[in-house]
């Protein structure tokens, strides 16, 4: 790995894991909805089952918005955990109405599910699911050790309960487009401040004192998204196979 990447390996892996997670998550959601639709043959029932599956994550997502808004002194309105199809045809699993505030508070309210969900995923992945050794074996290319570690995971106490909660939360912790609406102006302000600092000659000081700390933050985020990616990959491939069987078997027997 080049030296410039080594110094920013946290950012590198964060971008890799986020990109892969976004792709796999979309495909997994498609497979889940397709399986529910094939089994029930009713669109409303399939969407209801899909929403019910992710209810713990939806609850944490919307509760995080609500609590952050209250903490920051922003007025809140309606709170719903019931799924509905919105104007653009997308499924909305829940919502919280909050009054518009300044860009900083709006950005924090929008990021609240990512902060709370990330903390829960890190705790469950590292302390309940025991996924840290998997990364060690993977980076060392110890495939035998990786296989043995994966095989022993279901033997952990309440493994499937923690796996389900981690999956439901990880797939709903990402902020929606509405949650991110205040990020652009805030990001532009931060970029402007960084540009002014660089023009003032503070670049070397920032690299010496802030770069290592910032990379540690990126590493922590990369761990969260890496755990989420593993959870999604674990379910995506079996669900894809299941959908194929549900489509192929009735055709084979002439139903």
- 3-state secondary structure at position 68: helix
Cβ pair 130, 153 in contact under 8 A = yes
* Mean predicted lDDT score pLDDT of the chain: 85
Rounded to two decimals, the pTM is 0.84
CA–CA distances in Å: residue 8 to residues 2, 166, 254: 10, 28, 57
Whether residue 80 lies inside any domain: the answer is no
Cα torsion 91, 96, 99, 103 to 10°: value is -70
95 pairs with which residues across the strands? Answer: 80
Whether residue 224 lies inside any domain: the answer is yes
Whether residue 47 lies inside any domain: the answer is yes
What tens digit of pLDDT does each residue of 167-201 get? 999 999 988 888 888 788 777 887 887 788 777 87
pLDDT at 2: 54
Whether residue 186 lies inside any domain: the answer is yes
Whether residue 125 lies inside any domain: the answer is yes
What tens digit of pLDDT does each residue of 244-255 get? 888 877 655 455
Number of domains in the chain: 1
Whether residue 215 lies inside any domain: the answer is yes
Q: Residue 187 belongs to what domain range? A: 7-52+103-239
Range list of β-strands (E), 23-134: 76-80, 84-85, 91-92, 95-98
Whether residue 217 lies inside any domain: the answer is yes
91 pairs with which residues across the strands? Answer: 85
Whether residue 78 lies inside any domain: the answer is no
């Amino acid at each position: 790995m080049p030296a410039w990447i080594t110094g920013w390996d946290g950012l590198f892996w964060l971008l890799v894991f986020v990109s892969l997670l976004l792709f796999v998550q979309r495909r997994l959601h498609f497979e889940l909805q397709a399986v529910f639709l094939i089994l029930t043959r009713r669109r409303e029932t399939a969407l209801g089952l899909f929403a019910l599956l992710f209810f713990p994550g939806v609850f944490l997502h919307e509760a995080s918005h609500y609590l952050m808004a209250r903490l920051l002194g922003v007025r809140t309105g309606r709170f719903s955990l019931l799924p509905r199809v919105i104007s653009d045809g997308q499924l909305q699993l829940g919502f919280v109405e909050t009054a518009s505030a300044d860009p900083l508070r709006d950005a924090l309210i929008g990021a609240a599910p990512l902060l709370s969900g990330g903390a829960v995923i890190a705790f469950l992945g590292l302390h309940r699911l025991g996924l840290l050794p998997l990364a060690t074996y993977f980076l060392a290319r110890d495939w035998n050790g990786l296989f043995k570690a994966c095989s022993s995971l279901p033997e952990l106490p309440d493994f499937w309960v923690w796996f389900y909660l981690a999956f439901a939360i990880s797939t709903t912790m990402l902020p929606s487009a509405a949650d991110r609406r205040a990020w652009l102006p805030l990001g532009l302000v931060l970029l402007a401040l960084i540009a002014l600092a660089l023009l003032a000659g503070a670049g070397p000081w920032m690299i010496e004192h802030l770069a290592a700390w910032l990379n540690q933050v990126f590493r922590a985020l990369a761990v969260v998204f890496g755990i989420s990616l593993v959870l999604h990959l674990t379910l995506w491939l079996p669900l894809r196979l299941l959908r194929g069987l549900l489509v192929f078997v009735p055709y084979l027997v002439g139903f």
